[in-house]
């Protein structure tokens, strides 16, 4: 779907206006005004009413969509107005939709938010649907924007870059594990980054062996699919030390020898959501030419049980020399992240590290599907991320770290074990990662297990892949690194 700015409405298709709470325009056609009254339309966020208005021989579909009062304190309500239009008209048969901002008091940034909502809500993964009934097929091809204030198109270009990154993340997350595995993840991302200005480096199994990444390789050894470490660099910020984003990219998580139960195991195709968010963020940053230096690292493995798989009780040596007793092969994400985080510290020496991972089921028990969990050794970094979460809609909630939790992963045979007790499972997972963060390195860990996949449609996503993570990272870069 494309978005174009024009001076006149598209010749066909509905024409929509965005209306705040209790602020119906005075110039409504009588039919529209009556339709709004009859539907009790008040301009509540996402509320929508349409009427067919006769104009001589012709009949046009006019639409009002509500943007409420924006109680969220950000452009979320405007995004939801745009999303409501996309949800309603995406498969309606209409190929064109016009949004008319003439006479509206919305700013350029507000208009961009409406369009972003429409654009994000339009995304759906139809690659494998060969028998979609006509009424479920996407028909909407173009949104024409008229009457927008000066600067709206430029503001939209920035959000369009974000949307492009989100598309990539959602696609990677939605693809099944027979299509996206470490090698194809790298191929897909590399192809999409082509020409963007992001440089790509890929470490294969041999390179990782040479570096001593025993923890990551231990997870990978039960799979026929070889692992990869994908490194993406965006240098838009002069000679500033880069910020590193590191993603868990387990392209499928069976649990390994500590095999998961079958019910719901198909969900583990999206156990690469952290890596997907990192890749999508790199694309978004490059497309909008962010004035910042960022390195994205994805630790890509498949966690499978087979004759060569690692066993519970195995001891592995990590890249930084610490040893880990693998009590549970299903606690594999931290084993992947620890080596990826060591690599980025030794090779890149970043100013700060943010890792993202679908790390623990316990996080979903704690926070449900409303917030990602945040863990950090640095208050300024944590505060920046919480603020970016609020501003972007990818909300985060901070959890504690402390030596008492850390002690719970001491091992009798090695430096640490890869699981603690059931209680506080998300925290001990974070403590594990923290053991690989070098002294003085500001670090934050986002456990996004509850956020990357939605079982029902949300504000700006259909059910399925949400793209969680891209927006908070992009916002963090905008507000903390670029200003
Ligand atoms: N990828 C899972 C966590 C997960 C579960 C994400 C459900 C999304 C939905 C992770 O690798 C895992 O299996 N964690 C274990 C850890 C446990 C063995 C300590 C878990 O949460 O059960
Ligand atoms: Mn697991
Ligand atoms: Zn996992």
Ligand 1 pocket check for 271: Cβ under 6 Å: yes
Assess contact for 68 and 77: CB atoms under 8 A: yes
Those residues whose C-beta lies under 8 Å from the C-beta of residue 262, and which sit 6 or more positions away, are none
Ligand 1 pocket check for 332: Cβ under 6 Å: yes
Q: Are 21 and 100 contained in the same domain? A: yes
Q: Are 25 and 60 contained in the same domain? A: yes
Assess contact for 375 and 403: CB atoms under 8 A: no
Calculate how far, in angstroms, residue 358's C-alpha sits from the geometric centre of ligand 3: 6
Q: Are 254 and 326 contained in the same domain? A: yes
Q: Are 184 and 49 contained in the same domain? A: no
Task: Place 292 in a pLDDT band, splitting at 50, 70 and 90.
Answer: very high
> Which residues share a beta bridge with 244?
295, 353
Q: Are 349 and 242 contained in the same domain? A: yes
Q: Of 412, 409, 437, 413, which Cα lies nearest the Cα of 423? A: 409
Position 155 in a domain = no
Q: Are 167 and 143 contained in the same domain? A: no
Around ion ligand 3, residues with a beta carbon closer than 5 Å are 250, 253, 271, 333
pLDDT in tens, 425-443: 999 999 999 999 999 999 9
| CA-to-CA dists, residue 473 to 309, 380, 399, 412, 450, angstroms | 34, 15, 19, 38, 17
Position 39 in a domain = yes
pLDDT in tens, 257-289: 999 999 999 999 999 999 999 999 999 999 999
Around ion ligand 2, residues with a beta carbon closer than 5 Å are 253, 330, 332
Ligand 1 pocket check for 100: Cβ under 6 Å: no
% residues pLDDT > 90 (the chain): 98
Q: Which of 149, 172, 207 is the last residue of a domain?
A: 149
Task: Place 70 in a pLDDT band, splitting at 50, 70 and 90.
Answer: low
> Which residues share a beta bridge with 464?
454
| Structural domain boundaries, residue 239 | 160-481
Domain with 26 in it: what CATH number?
Answer: 3.40.220.10
Q: What is the pLDDT of residue 96?
A: 98
Decide: pTM greater than 0.75: yes
Q: Are 109 and 237 contained in the same domain? A: no
Q: Are 145 and 167 contained in the same domain? A: no
Q: Are 302 and 385 contained in the same domain? A: yes
* Ligand 1 site-directed mutation target among 331, 361, 426, 468, most atoms within 8 Å of CB: 361
Q: Are 288 and 411 contained in the same domain? A: yes
Q: Which of 122, 149, 176 is the last residue of a domain?
A: 149
Question: What is the average per-residue pLDDT within 343-364?
Answer: 98
Position 307 in a domain = yes
Whose Cα sits closest to atom 14 in ligand 1?
360
Q: Are 309 and 192 contained in the same domain? A: yes
Domain with 455 in it: what CATH number?
Answer: 3.40.630.10
Position 287 in a domain = yes
Calculate how far, in angstroms, residue 349's C-alpha sits from the geometric centre of ligand 1: 30
Q: Are 238 and 265 contained in the same domain? A: yes
Q: Domain count for the chain, please give it.
A: 2
Ligand 1 pocket check for 358: Cβ under 6 Å: yes
CA torsion through residues 440, 441, 442, 448, sign:
negative
pLDDT in tens, 77-125: 999 999 999 999 999 999 999 999 999 999 999 999 999 999 999 999 9
pLDDT in tens, 301-342: 999 999 999 999 999 999 999 999 999 999 999 999 999 999
Ligand 1: atom nearest CA of 425 is 19
Task: Place 74 in a pLDDT band, splitting at 50, 70 and 90.
Answer: low
Q: Which of 96, 124, 149 is the last residue of a domain?
A: 149
Ligand 1 pocket check for 338: Cβ under 6 Å: no
Position 154 in a domain = no
Position 401 in a domain = yes
Calculate how far, in angstroms, residue 293's C-alpha sits from the geometric centre of ligand 3: 29
Calculate how far, in angstroms, residue 120's C-alpha sits from the geometric centre of ligand 1: 28
Which of the residues are catalytic? Answer: 260, 334
3-state secondary structure 150-213: CCHHHHHHHHHHHHHHHHHHHHHHHCCCCCCCHHHHHHHHHHHHCCCCCEEEEECHHHHHHHCC
HSE (CB half, 13 Å, CA atoms) of 421? 7
Calculate how far, in angstroms, residue 176's C-alpha sits from the geometric centre of ligand 1: 18
Q: What b-and-e string marks burial along 257-282, b requiring 16 or more CB atoms within 10 Å of the CB? A: bbebeeeeeeebbbbbbbbbbbbbbb
Using CA atoms, how far apart are residues 326 and 340, in angstroms rounded to an integer? Answer: 18
Position 378 in a domain = yes
């Amino acid at each position: 779907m494309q978005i174009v700015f024009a001076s006149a409405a598209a010749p066909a298709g509905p024409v929509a206006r965005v209306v705040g709470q209790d602020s119906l325009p005075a110039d409504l056609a009588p039919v529209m005004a009556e339709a709004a009254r009859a539907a009790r339309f008040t301009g509540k966020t996402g509320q929508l009413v349409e009427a067919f208005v006769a104009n001589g021989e012709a009949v046009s579909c006019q639409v009002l969509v509500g943007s409420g009062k924006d109680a969220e304190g950000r452009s979320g309500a405007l995004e939801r107005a745009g999303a409501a239009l996309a949800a309603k008209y995406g498969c309606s048969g209409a190929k064109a939709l016009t949004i008319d901002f003439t006479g509206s008091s919305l700013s350029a940034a507000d208009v961009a938010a409406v369009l972003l909502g429409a654009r994000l809500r339009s995304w759906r993964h139809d690659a494998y649907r060969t028998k979609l009934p006509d009424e479920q097929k996407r028909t909407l091809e173009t949104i024409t924007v008229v009457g927008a204030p000066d600067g709206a198109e430029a503001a939209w270009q920035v959000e369009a870059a974000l949307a492009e990154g989100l598309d990539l993340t959602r696609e990677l997350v939605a693809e099944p594990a027979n299509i996206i595995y470490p090698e194809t993840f790298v191929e897909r991302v590399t192809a999409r980054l082509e020409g963007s200005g992001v440089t790509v480096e890929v470490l294969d199994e041999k390179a990782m062996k040479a570096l001593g990444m025993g923890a990551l390789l231990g997870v990978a050894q039960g799979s026929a699919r070889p692992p990869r470490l994908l490194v993406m660099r965006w240098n838009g910020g002069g000679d500033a030390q880069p910020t590193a984003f590191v993603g868990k990219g387990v392209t499928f998580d069976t649990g390994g020898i500590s095999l998961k139960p079958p019910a719901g195991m198909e969900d583990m195709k999206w156990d690469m959501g952290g890596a997907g968010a990192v890749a999508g963020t790199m694309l978004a940053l490059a497309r909008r030419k962010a004035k910042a230096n960022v390195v994205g690292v994805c630790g890509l493995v498949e966690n499978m049980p087979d004759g060569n798989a690692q066993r519970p009780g195995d001891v592995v040596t990590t890249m930084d020399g610490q040893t880990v007793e693998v009590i549970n092969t299903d606690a594999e994400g931290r084993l992947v992240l620890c080596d990826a985080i060591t690599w980025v510290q030794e090779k890149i020496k970043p100013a700060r590290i943010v890792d993202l991972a679908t790390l623990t089921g316990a996080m979903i028990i704690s926070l449900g599907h409303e917030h990602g969990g945040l863990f950090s050794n640095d208050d300024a970094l944590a505060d920046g991320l919480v603020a970016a979460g609020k501003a972007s809609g990818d909300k985060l909630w901070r959890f504690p770290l402390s030596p008492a939790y850390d002690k719970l992963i001491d091992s009798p045979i090695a430096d640490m074990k890869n699981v603690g007790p059931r209680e506080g499972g998300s925290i001990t997972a974070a403590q594990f990662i923290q053991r690989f963060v070098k002294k003085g390195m500001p670090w934050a860990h986002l456990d996004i297990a509850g956020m990357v996949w939605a079982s029902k449609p949300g504000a700006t996503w259909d059910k399925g892949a949400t793209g969680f993570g891209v927006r908070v990272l992009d916002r963090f870069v905008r507000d903390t690194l670029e200003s």
